[in-house]
Amino acid sequence: MSYEHSDLQRLLFDPVHATVVAELGRHVVDRSAVVDVGCGTGRLLRRLDGVFATSVGVDPASGMLVAARRLGTRAGLVRAGAERLPLGDRSFSLVTTTLSARHWSDVNAGLAELARVLAPGGLVVVGEARTGRTPFVDAAVAGRHGLDVVACVPAPVRGPVPPADVVTLRRTPRR
């Protein structure tokens, strides 16, 4: 069984991605540009194909980007880590990241980069396994990075995987 068709995808990633998409329907977001940080094989990007005028996937692993292209995403793909995104300031109306922060060398730096590339009024939607503290929520609640928590909802994961939450953050108007 390949990684793309594994139980992990079906039991954890698919429910988290479905919850991310559902959250987009609950919150008004400009559909001009999305970036998925830690895009992996592009599963979430494929769900968002055609919804946004511009879509970009970022991942540090070249093999994941090759798989994303092979599996059919139309997004532009960029090899980079979350801590140093080679993207313009305030250039995306939506920034997503799902189940990738555990791989970042510096979660706080990664969150700062997500906030940097987020356009005014834009959303950051984060899906993460609940394995203790949630640094995204901790940082946002502490008022760092100009982001406020809009919602935190559980993803309907099942089976032998950890519970997961989808946290929606919005850039505060004053920043």
pLDDT tens-digit profile of 93-150? 999 999 888 888 888 899 899 999 999 989 999 998 877 656 555 655 556 788 888 8
Inter-residue contact 44 to 23 (CB < 8 Å): no
Which residues make beta-bridge pairs with 127?
98, 166
| Range among 8-17, 61-70, 129-138 with highest mean pLDDT value | 61-70
CB 121 within 8 A of CB 166: no
Contact 96, 34 (CB under 8 A): yes
Output the average pLDDT for the chain.
Answer: 86
What pLDDT does residue 124 have? 93
**Tokens found for residue 24:** 């987009």
What CATH number is given to the structural domain containing 90?
A: 3.40.50.150
pLDDT at 1 over 50: no
Torsion of CA 45, 49, 54, 60, to 10 degrees: 20
pLDDT of residue 63: 95
14: pLDDT strictly greater than 80: yes
Q: What is the number of structural domains in the chain? A: 1
Evaluate if residue 174 carries a pLDDT over 60. Answer: no
pLDDT at 29 over 80: no
Rounded distance, CA 42 to CA 36, Å?
Answer: 8
Q: Which domain, by its residues, includes 147?
A: 3-171
Q: What is the pLDDT of residue 113?
A: 95
